[in-house]
Amino acid sequence: MDGIPTAGTTSEDGAVTGEAVNGPQVGLIMGSDSDWPTMEAAAEALAEFGIRFEVGVVSAHRTPQRMLDYAREAAGRGIKVVIAGAGGAAHLPGMVASATPLPVIGVPVPLKYLDGMDSLLSIVQMPAGVPVATVSIGGARNAGLLAVRILAATDPELRTRMEQFQADLEKLVLDKDEALRTRLLG
């Protein structure tokens, strides 16, 4: 889609950069560029696993035709999962889900008022037949990791990397447990 840049690697300073080699697998969209500080965590998680993705602003209220075009064309462009972040009324994830057969992960973006609770309730309360997988308020990293898991269902190499990620998380917790016990018990 015109105007939606693709990315998929990180530079040494951690910024998300780079061009997709074979086209993006994940669409990472948000209702406003002000959502990027929240949504960047999803991009970072995808980049950690080498997942090609695109990033763009697609507003359900200000650019409804662009949003519908994006949703309808995503699968044909090779997108396999859409991560959609929105605050306030947060209609973007649900509207995209209504116009695409792809899995959509909704990220409630916290705003000045109500701390994202309005966004969460809007995204999670979808009518029957229009599912949106919803992560916690501001939970963009988990949205990225969920997209990795969805892709890993049909990619054994990616599944192996996810299993290693899970093992590393377990080791981190066990190391913290040991450190705490050592500190408290001497």
The 3-state DSSP class for residue 100 equals: coil
Question: For tokens 């929105």, what's the residue?
Answer: 86
Distance CA 76, CA 173 (A): 41
Q: Which amino acid is at 127?
A: P
DSSP string, 11-61: -TTS-EE---SS--SEEEEESSGGGHHHHHHHHHHHHHTT--EEEEE--TT
Distance CA 51, CA 24 (A): 8
Name residues whose C-beta falls within 8 Å of residue 178's C-beta, 6 or more positions apart in sequence.
none
Angle separating helix axes 64-74 and 92-99, nearest 10 degrees: 50
Tokens encoding 107? 């990220």
What H or E segment, with its residue span, contains residue 107?
strand 104-108
What H or E segment, with its residue span, contains residue 7?
strand 6-7
Is 62 marked as a binding-site residue?
A: yes
Is 32 marked as a binding-site residue?
A: yes
Known binding-site residues equal 32, 35, 62
Known binding-site residues for substrate equal 32, 35, 62
